[in-house]
């Protein structure tokens, strides 16, 4: 059923499940006449923009930046208009289906953030970013430690530090690649078991 929903209906359901999670506003607006609901939407959107503009005027923003922030937050609040498209749907059934799907994903560990569920290229990019970050951390820490221990190093001491640092980075790279190999082997083994 959820795959048949339009983008606007999906936005309305997202608003319902995240912002209005207990569905109080949805249930309050549903029995009202359309004209009254539209009046509520207009008052909510205009009020949100004016209140945000007033509150943001106390901060040291430029007038344009304050208007931009107020406009973005007002556009976010205006997503409540998509409730109008939900009143013709069987929301209880859609929400039940959504909960069952989430429970299935949790039970079978199919979340997208899990390494085994990511595509290989995404994992590779993640590993590369982590390697660069760790290498930079090691480099900065080594340089700070070197200059803390030796206030005015000689050229020979500097050359020795560079040589030892290159050895450290080589061992770190070998260890990192070996660890990733083991991790990828475990991921492939888990995928094969599924």
Q: Where are the domains of the chain?
A: 2-107, 115-193
- At residue 194, the pLDDT reads 67
Tell me how far apart the alpha carbons of residues 57 and 35 are, in angstroms, rounded to a whole number.
Answer: 33
For 164, phi then psi, to 5°, come to -65, -35
Q: Which residues of the chain have pLDDT under 50?
A: none
The chain-wide mean pLDDT, for the chain, equals 85
- At residue 2, the pLDDT reads 52
Rg (CA), the chain: 28
Alpha-carbon distances, residue 190 vs 98, 127, 180 (angstroms) = 27, 19, 15
Separation of first and last alpha carbons in the chain: 27
Tens of pLDDT, residue by residue over 101-133, are 888 877 777 777 777 778 889 889 999 999 999
The whole model's pTM is what? Answer: 0.52
Which alpha helices (DSSP H) does 57-154 contain, by range? 63-77, 91-107, 120-149
- At residue 190, the pLDDT reads 79
Give, as one character, the DSSP assignment of residue 4: G
Cβ-count burial 20-29 (b if 16+ within 10 Å, e if not)? beeeebbeeb
Closest CA to 83 of 1, 3, 10, 2: 10
- At residue 3, the pLDDT reads 57
């Amino acid at each position: 059923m959820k795959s048949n929903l339009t983008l606007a209906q999906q936005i309305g359901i997202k608003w319902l499940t995240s912002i209005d999670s207990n569905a109080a506003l949805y249930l309050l607006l549903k029995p009202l006449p359309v004209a009254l609901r539209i009046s509520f939407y207009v008052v909510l959107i205009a009020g949100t923009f004016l209140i945000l503009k007033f509150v943001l005027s106390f901060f040291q923003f430029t007038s344009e930046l304050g208007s931009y922030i107020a406009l973005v937050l007002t556009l976010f609040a205006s997503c409540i208009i998509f409730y109008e498209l939900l009143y013709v749907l069987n929301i209880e059934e859609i929400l039940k289906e959504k909960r069952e799907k989430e429970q299935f994903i949790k039970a079978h560990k199919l979340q997208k953030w899990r390494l085994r569920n990511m595509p290989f290229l995404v994992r590779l990019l993640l590993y590369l970013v982590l390697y660069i970050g760790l290498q930079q951390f090691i480099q900065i820490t080594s340089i700070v430690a070197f200059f803390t221990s030796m206030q005015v190093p000689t050229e020979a001491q500097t050359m020795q530090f560079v040589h030892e640092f290159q050895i450290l980075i080589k061992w770190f790279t070998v260890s990192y690649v070996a660890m990733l190999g083991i991790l990828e082997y475990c991921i492939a083994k888990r995928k094969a078991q599924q």
